[in-house]
Chain A
Amino acid sequence: MIEHESSIRDTSAGGHPDELLPWYANGTLEGEDRARVESHLAGCDRCRAEVEGLRELRAALKRGEAAEGPGELGRRRLRRTVAQERRRVRPRSLWRPALAAAAALVIAVETGLLVREATGPETYRPLQGAGPAEAVLQVRFAPEATEAQIRALLNEVGAYLVGGPGALGVYRLALEERGPDAVERAASRLRRREAIVREVRRQ
């Protein structure tokens, strides 16, 4: 690649700060660079016009440049790729550490569940700062279910773990899909897998 370093005019001696203007136009210029451009622009019509042109270019690019990715197809492909990768590489310890990372959440859940068990029908609500996604289901898995079985089932149902296990072995699940029907659908699909799932409740 040919880089024409030499052909940029030396602007350090008070010429037009041409090479900085694009980054003034995109709003990322800081410190000395920014001060230099600003003081120059105050007295230079040419550079003000240039900045204006660059802003137009930026706006036009933002309107026309974005492209839509492969979406669901891409997600499925990635899932297959990761599954291959998991077979290739020694399985990582995936269950416990993921939960440990959500420690604050788990504490909230446990507290909530204990309260819930003690007071019967009272509705449990997640404590504030509900974490990355709203849990809609509470699930207890069969003690003999393996991690691989549980993971496959969650992928199949489009559910993911957002908390647990609580003191009573209850995990909280969120769903990829939104809406009340989605929750009911997921719950009944989970219930059908009796070998893996012991109990499903709506949050």
Chain B
Amino acid sequence: MGALRDRSESAPAEHDDGQAATLLAAIADGSEPALERFYRTYEGVVYTFALRRLGEPADAADVLNETMLEVWRGAGRFEQRARVRTWLLGIAHHKILDRMRRRGRRREDELDPAMPDDEAEPAWASIAAAQDAGRLRACLDRLSDAHREVVHLAFFEDLSYPEIARLVGCPEGTVKTRMFHARRALKRCLVEGPEAAPGGGSE
């Protein structure tokens, strides 16, 4: 099928990505069935990302629809060197931020990432306890948005820190810093329980 694409010098690393890139080319040509197939492939990726950050299924569904509309409009702007998944999550990232801005307020029960630096860092010992479900979820939900985002992208999507930096639009050092503080807040919450963690006030 070499005639479909001539991108040998910048072939995407993943096979799935190759297929997705072909779909994007068809979408750019105006194929709605291709958009539908693209939607079926990536619905879960975008929806999960949005839901974990916005908390509301209805908001996540809106973001999903807006993101896919943006794919319809902008499929032709996809650059072959990028990974489809990272490109798509980048679009979703902006849609999520728009929505948060419209929503206005920050959550008030957010975990405080500003833990004193000399405080002994807890170990992960209690993750095993959290695995039976709710506690990890509760602690993740109480991270600040930027922290929850980096945890999601690193551990659910397995993105590298340069990829996350490009996607989010911040320096690589900031991604590492966010992850560093997210880990500490998460650990502390897992040890002490989400109820015990002191609420917000980091801004």
Mask of B31-49 contacts with A, CB within 8 angstroms, 1/0? 1111111011001101110
Could you list some 13 contacts between A and B, CB below 8 A?
A3-B177, A4-B114, A5-B174, A61-B140, A62-B155, A65-B156, A67-B51, A68-B44, A75-B36, A78-B35, A101-B26, A103-B3, A160-B31
- Chain A, residues 153-192, CB within 8 Å of chain B (1/0): the string is 0110000110000000000000010000000000000000
B124 engages A23 (CB within 8 Å)? no
Contact B155 A57 (CB under 8 A): yes
Closest A-B pairs by Cβ, 4 of them = A53-B124, A94-B30, A160-B33, A69-B47
B187 to chain A, nearest CB (A): 8
Could you tell me if A8 and B1 are in contact, using CB atoms closer than 8 angstroms?
Answer: no
Q: When the two chains form their complex, are residues A151 and B32 in contact, meaning their CB atoms are under 8 A apart?
A: yes
Does chain A have a CB within 8 A of B91? no
Distance from A7 Cβ to chain B, minimum over Cβ atoms (Å): 5
Which of under 10, 10 to 19, 20 to 34, or 35 or more describes the interface residues of B? 35 or more
A54 to B35, CA, bound (A): 36
- Per-position 1/0 for B15-35, Cβ under 8 A of A: 000010011011001111111
Expressed in whole angstroms, the Cα–Cα distance for A52 and B46 within the complex equals 28
Q: Which A7-35 residues have C-beta < 8 A from chain B?
A: 7-8, 18-20, 22-23, 25-30
Nearest CB of B to A95, in Å: 8
With A8-B176, A70-B47, A77-B61 already in contact, 15 other A-B pairs whose C-beta atoms are closer than 8 Å:
A20-B176, A60-B136, A67-B48, A71-B43, A75-B36, A75-B39, A77-B65, A78-B69, A81-B65, A82-B72, A98-B30, A100-B29, A102-B26, A133-B37, A160-B31
Q: Is A56 an interface residue (CB 8 A)?
A: yes
Tell whether A74 pairs with B64 under 8 Å between CB atoms, given A64-B133, A101-B25, A154-B33.
yes
A132 touches B25 (CB 8 A): no
- A69–B59 Cα gap in the complex (Å)? 12
Please pick, from B48, B68, B124, B174, the residue contacting A52 in the complex, using a CB distance under 8 A: B124
Q: Which of B167-203 touch A at CB < 8 Å? A: 173-174, 176-181, 183, 186, 202-203
User: In this complex, what residue of A is CB-closest to B163?
Assistant: A28
Q: Contacts A19-B180, A75-B39, A154-B33; is A98 near B26 (CB within 8 Å)?
A: yes
User: Do B31 and A98 touch (CB < 8 A)?
Assistant: yes
Q: Is B9 an interface residue (CB 8 A)?
A: no
Taking A60-B130, A74-B64, A98-B26 as contacts, is the C-beta distance between A22 and B73 under 8 angstroms? no
Residues of A participating in the B interface, judged by any CB pair closer than 8 Å:
1-5, 7-8, 18-20, 22-23, 25-30, 49-50, 52-54, 56-58, 60-71, 73-75, 77-79, 81-82, 85, 92-94, 97-98, 100-105, 129, 131-133, 151, 154-155, 160-161, 176
Which residues of the other chain, B, contact A68 by a CB distance below 8 angstroms?
44, 47
A19 to chain B, nearest CB (A): 4
Tell whether B8 is near chain A: CB-to-CB under 8 Å.
Answer: no
Asked whether A65 lies within 8 Å of B22 as measured between CB atoms, the reply is no
Q: Are B39 and A74 in contact (CB under 8 A)?
A: yes
Q: Could you tell me if A4 and B155 are in contact, using CB atoms closer than 8 angstroms?
A: no
